[in-house]
Amino acid sequence: MRRWMGLLLTGLAAVVPVVGTIWLLVLIYKILLSVGDHMIGLSLKALNLLRSGEDLTSEHFAFYGSNFVRFLIPVMLLFLIGFAVANTPGRRVLHWMNSAMERIPYLGFIYSALKQFVDALRNLGGDRKFKSAAYVEYPSPGCRMLGFVTGNYHDAQTGKDVTTVFLPTSPNPMTGFIVIIDDDKVQDSEMTLEEASKMILSAGLVAPASFNQEIK
């Protein structure tokens, strides 16, 4: 029975990532398709107000490949919004909107939390990447906490070179805290960023390949 359960869990471990990724892509497609359908519906209603004759409906927009057009419309709109925000006038408008939303009681807290979460996801694949994985001695001597090196600076107040290390929580690496520690107290890790991320996400269940090597 234990062997059968082990095989079942192995099969789930192999299938769940693939199925989950496909499900997420399908969900995003359906959401964008629904948004495109509503945008076309509003556009047809606006045209009906400007013209005379038979009212146009969504059925008049039914043709081969119409679903792709419905999906493409919100995608192009997102590209236009991204282009606008990438420029100075758009960034000013976005900054004003963020400030206005954050001032709203209760709703501002939810908006700020969602914004921080989206920014964290975006920065994972952006230019601001972690430099390396490292260990910090915590919470007691002999214990090491895994973190990511984010920068190296010179502290003029103490006259020492320091390293900033982000210590993520497990299994949710989106939260954590920053420690500023002297360079000589930071222990370099041979793990790659990918290996360290997997170890944190899995709460230590997925260890680097070097950890699994048999000691001869």
pLDDT, tens digit, 9 for 90 and up, residues 92-142 = 888 898 888 888 888 888 888 787 777 766 665 554 567 888 998 887 888
Strand partners, 176: 168
Q: Give yes or no for a cis peptide into 208 (omega within 30° of 0).
A: no
* Long-range own/partner contacts, residues 71-79 (CB < 8 A, 24 or more apart): 71/29, 71/32, 71/33, 71/36, 72/36, 73/35, 73/36, 73/39, 73/40, 74/32, 74/35, 74/36, 74/39, 75/32, 77/39
So what's the pLDDT on residue 216?
Answer: 45
Average pLDDT over all residues of the chain: 82
Q: In which residue are the tokens 């964008």 written? A: 32
Confidence check: pLDDT of 214 > 80:
no
User: Which residues does residue 148 pair with via DSSP β-bridges, in sequence order?
Assistant: 133, 166
Residue 48 has pLDDT above 70, yes or no: yes
Low-confidence winner among 6-20, 25-39, 96-110, 199-213 (lowest mean pLDDT): 199-213
Q: 215 falls in which pLDDT band (50, 70, 90)?
A: very low
Q: Is the predicted pLDDT of residue 184 greater than 70, yes or no?
A: yes
76 near 40, Cβ under 8 Å? no
Q: Which residues share a beta bridge with 40?
A: none
pLDDT for res 144: 87
